[in-house]
Structure 1
Amino acid sequence: MNFTLIRNLFRNTAALCYRSQNTSHVCAVAEAKKIHTTNCNRDLMEFFDAKKNWGEQTIKVGRAWNLDELRIKSNTDLHKLWYVLLKERNMLFTMEQECNEKMRLFPSPERIDKVQESMENIEKVIRERNVAYYKLETGETGERPVEEIVNLLGLPEEYRKQEYYIPKFMNIRWVKNYYEHGVVTSLAVKKFLRLYREKQRVEAKKARNRDYNHVQHLLKRFPNVDVEALKAQYPDVDLEKAKRTKK
């Protein structure tokens, strides 16, 4: 038997099979590339509104996403919706800037507020889920702790803790302001606090007088008004004194 002829025959057969498989694979890939589910790519035109809305005075749009609608959606849907709103916001900002440069009226500017409100609601829902997850796993909220401190003006302020590369006692700027120079306990800060509290007392007194005069006018105009409802709405006003007044 001619073993060389048989070996060459098997070799040619294997080569033909390999080529046919590669050809079918390339054809399958080429056919698969023709089918896609993504939107068309319009390059920089993605930053502009549709051409049918150019020159319009008003554009009909829906309302913003509320919290109840977002709470029933999955994290994947919220992630997709976030990027859709982000793309819409970038487009609206671009159109607003273009209209300002062309000295034209930007149609329906409330669209920006609706998009921003929707994005803020998504952040609230994500924060709620994050807090619930951390409370279930660790018993804590997982957010940065907040501490009430006194600022340089001597007023209470909420401070959200964060990491620093140097400790507090080694921070020269902080030590000088709070310990050496006594900024919080200085005479200027004390004078400011005294005037600030006096202003608050005057504003509170004016607010009480406005409510008292308003209740007097209500009692004079509507003698049969519901006293309990009026007392619930204005708890700081003495209704008996307002009734006895001759004003």
Structure 2
Amino acid sequence: MKMVGLTKMANFVRNTTAICLRASKVTHVWNPAVPVRAIHTTKTQNDLMEFFDVKKNWNESNIRVGRAWRLDELRIKSNTDLHKLWYILLKERNMLYTMEHECNQRVKVFPNPERIDKVQESMNNIETVIRERNVAYYKLETGETGERPVEEVVNLFGLPEKLHKSEYYIPKFMNTKWVKSYLEHGFINSLSVKKFYRLYKEKQYLDNKRSKTRDYNHVQQLLKRFPNLDMEALKAQYPDVDIEKAKRTKKARGHFDPKY
């Protein structure tokens, strides 16, 4: 009896399916080259309006926003989450730049311009976290950081400069254009470069001397106005100033007998 019932049920289902197909008169062709996705999370509206803010914020003068992503919050996220968050922040930054340009074109105030700084800070923090993970991975696998090597060189003005090494299609000793102008012609050791470097060092020395003089005079005025000033805090704030020497000057005494 059970086998007969199952046979009748199978025949009923088969006949019902055939009737539906004949009624619809639709021929389905399966193409294995076209991928079939049962579900997707892409937004339905992928037009140019994504470069603009939502319409309810267009006439607002103050938009409440949160803070930037911190490093300790990003370090506990996976690489997939960081990758998704990066593109979310990228779209947000493009939207903010578009709204800022549109407000400038319409001579309106762009609300909360600090949003751009917060987004940029978050993106910089993501790059920092990813660089930390890359350095840790390369140190574990190869014993090196994996970063681009940096070398201290002297530029054409005779000043020290940090050069990030990169690959070139021709070696240095075969690059006659660079060798002749940089080494053989003596751009580094020429009289013009030496004169420039001497004047540059003199300017640095004078700027440093003026800065120390300003701090020394400021400390004297502080000692004159506030005789009970905390000396430890003053030394911590002005480590390059001789506090004991400044105490003995006439500018620091004022119209009273100092207690120190």
- Same fold judged by TM-score > 0.5? yes
**Structure 1 pair 190–50 and aligned structure 2 pair: CA distance change class (3 A):** same
Counterpart in 1 of 2:7?
none
Deviation at 1:183, TM superposition (A): 0.8
Alignment of structure 1 residues 78-89 onto 2, 5 Å: 78-89=82-93
* 2:142 paired with 1:138: yes
Are residue 186 (structure 1) and residue 214 (structure 2) matched? no
Helix, strand or coil at the partner of 1:57? coil
3-state secondary structure, aligned to 2:162? strand
Aligned-partner Cα distance in 2 for 1:212–1:88: 49
Cα 1:235–1:35 shift into 2, 3 Å: closer
2:128 equivalent to 1:124:
yes
- 1:206 is aligned to 2:210: yes
User: 2-side partners of 1:135 and 1:234: how far apart?
Assistant: 41
Alpha-carbon separation, structure 2, partners of 1:34 and 1:165: 48
What is the aligned partner in structure 2 of residue 51 from structure 1? Answer: 55
**Aligned position for 1:64:** 68
Corresponding residue for residue 231 of structure 2: 227
Residue identity opposite 1:148 in structure 2: E
CA RMSD, Structure 1 to Structure 2 (Å) = 2.3
Q: How far is 1:195 from its partner?
A: 0.7
Q: CA deviation at 1:43?
A: 1.5
Instruction: Tell me how far 1:154 sits from its aligned partner.
Output: 0.4
1:236 to 233, 240, 243: 240
Q: Secondary structure at the match of 2:43?
A: coil
1:4 is matched with which residue? Answer: none
CA deviation map 1:13-36 (0-9, x unaligned): 9xx69x77xx8xx8xxxxx97865
Pair 1:74 & 2:84 matched: no
Q: 2:178 maps to what in 1?
A: 174
* Residue type at the aligned position of 2:123: M
User: Aligned pair in 2 of structure 1 residues 155, 246: CA closer, same or farther (>3 Å)?
Assistant: same
The gaps in structure 1 that reach 5 residues or longer are: 1-12, 27-31
Counting matched residue pairs gives: 223
* Paired letter, 1:50: V
Q: Deviation of residue 56 (structure 1)?
A: 1.8
Bigger shift: 234-243 or 200-209? 234-243
Name the CA shift for 1:35/1:125 in 2 (closer, same or farther; >3 Å).
Answer: closer
Counterparts of 1:36 and 1:204 in 2: how far apart (Å)?
A: 63
Query: Aligned-pair distance for 1:37?
Result: 4.1
Task: Give me the identity figure in percent.
Answer: 74
Deviates more, 1:182-191 or 1:154-163: 182-191
Q: Secondary structure at the match of 2:195?
A: helix
Distance 1:179 1:36 in 2: 61
Deviations 1:150-174 (A, max 9, x none): 0000000000000000011121232
Aligned mates of 1:163, 1:99 — CA distance in 2? 44
Query: Structure 2: how far apart are the matches of 1:166 and 1:42?
Result: 46
Deviations for 1:53-96, whole angstroms, at most 9, x for unmatched residues?
11222211111111121112111111110010011111112222
What residue is the counterpart of 2:33 in the other structure?
A: none
Cα deviations across residues 1-20 of structure 1 (Å, max 9, x unaligned)?
xxxxxxxxxxxx9xx69x77
